[in-house]
A = this chain, B = another copy of it.
Amino acid sequence: MSFLADLLSTVFERRYRGAREPDAKGRSIKELCHDLLGSSGEVSGTILARLILDQYAGMDDAAKIEFFTFLVRDLGIDPPRIRDALDGFEAVPDKASYRRFLAVAEPARQELARRLNQVPGATGRLVGMRRDLLRLARDHPDFAVVDLDFRHLFSSWFNRGFLVLRPINWDSPAGILEKIIAYEAVHAIDSWDDLRRRLAPEDRRCFAFFHPSMPNEPLIFVEVALTRGIPGSVQGLLADAREVIAARDADTAVFYSISNCQAGLAGISFGNSLIKQVVADLSRELPKLSTFVTLSPIPGLARWTGEDGATLAAMKPDLLRQLAAHYLLEAKRPDGTPFDPVARFHLGNGALVHAVHADADVSPNGIAQSGGAMVNYLYDTALISQNHEGFAAAHSIAASPEVTALASAAKPKPA
């Protein structure tokens, strides 16, 4: 903290230590929030914001629950005041009446979050606050309204236009790489050696989105393998002693793992933009790349069949592939969208189901969720728009003839 900030804090906190309370901790976080919302200038605002964030950082779950309850009850909207403002606006729809409406239609907790965000480094701390909120909301459904406000703000702050795509490689800072190890959610990274195998060879790439206010925190990242032909096994891709090819000789880019990093940004969607921009950047760098495809898990297969993964893994490969194809094309939720969450993501982005593979992820997790089956979703630039619109309008699922045939050949879902 800087010299002046120090001085200012001293001067200012004295007031909070002085007149009313024995010490700064004596003034409650609720009172500080009201002070911050009432303060006219930035001079005191930043200091108040810092005090609030620091006090929050020291809280246990009980105190956090009390704080979020305060946000629900005291800093929400006030319907009668909104109705008054609406009446005023309808009577004379001018600048003054509209300003009044805007002021009351937004809950005070949104303005509170914006003012807290003035402190350097606050953005990441607010993302952490929402992570807490989501965790605690499981037992406190009334917190959901606060989460909607966070979500509204974060959608604005983490707007695609503000994100920065950065390659992650073996020259990236160790402090970021250890987060890649920690956040990899699809195919765990065992060690720094394992990480190097995924980053250092010239036929392996990784890209992440960052926000300028959280420069050391990846938001989401994707791991890519450059290959000749479309692979059907993730263990093959990640093998220790595999042959590295020259990047310029690759014809295919395989997105084999996409991981969200920030629990506090759940529901703020970046994945689609990430894939699009990585496809664009790789195309420019390596003009010979002609195929952009995923090698994706089928996380809902075992659950949907009601079998355990070991049973599926013991099936004949072709039968498992038929089953997986059938599942991907036919298993639906009540709203008509695919049962499989990864399928929803890629099909919603305009991909099509290109191929399914047995024995493709033989890790314990891969066996457990799908008996080892995996799927390639293909991003065919000539079809993306059409696929996307078909899916958006009618939940229609685009698939290759081979997968369609497999799905048709499938026996009915095991009883």
Contacts and interface: CB of A to CB of B under 8 A. Distances in A.
Interface in A143-181: 144-145, 148-149, 152-153, 155-157, 159-162, 164, 170-178
B7 A40 contact: no
Interface in A276-290: 276-277, 279-281, 283-284, 287
A161 B213 contact: yes
A123 interface: yes
A12 interface: yes
B12 A94 contact: no
A2 B95 contact: no
Contacts of A408: none
B171 A118 contact: no
Given A152-B102, A212-B212, A272 B43 contact: yes
Contacts of A269: 42
Given A2-B280, A118-B159, A173-B170, A388 B105 contact: no
Given A2-B284, A93-B145, A382-B11, A155 B114 contact: yes
Interface string A21-34: 00000000000000
Contacts of A277: 2
A5 B384 CA distance: 12
A204 to B, nearest CB: 14
A89 to B, nearest CB: 7
B8 A384 contact: yes
A196 B212 contact: no
A117 B161 contact: yes
Interface in A352-375: none
A272 B89 contact: no
Nearest to A4: B280
Taking residues whose C-beta sits less than 8 angstroms from the other chain, chain A's interface range is 35 or more
Interface in A89-105: 89-90, 93-95, 98-99, 101-102, 105
A213 B162 contact: yes
Nearest to A173: B171
A98 B145 contact: yes
Contacts of A213: 161-162
Contacts of A95: 141, 144-145, 148
A388 B43 contact: yes
A413 interface: no
Contacts of A141: 94-95
Nearest to A273: B42
A284 to B, nearest CB: 6
A332 interface: no
A102 B11 contact: no
A170 B174 contact: yes
Contact of A11 (B7, B11, B41, B381): B381
Nearest to A86: B79
A235 interface: no
The 5 A-B pairs with the shortest beta carbon distances in the complex, nearest first, are A2-B280, A212-B212, A95-B144, A3-B283, A171-B173
Given A42-B269, A174-B199, 19 more contacts: A3-B280, A3-B287, A42-B160, A42-B272, A43-B384, A93-B145, A94-B141, A95-B144, A98-B148, A105-B106, A118-B160, A153-B156, A157-B157, A162-B162, A171-B173, A171-B174, A172-B173, A192-B192, A212-B212
24 contacts: A2-B284, A3-B284, A5-B280, A7-B381, A15-B385, A41-B349, A42-B272, A43-B349, A77-B101, A79-B86, A83-B83, A98-B145, A102-B149, A102-B152, A105-B106, A118-B159, A118-B161, A122-B161, A157-B157, A161-B213, A162-B213, A171-B173, A171-B175, A192-B192
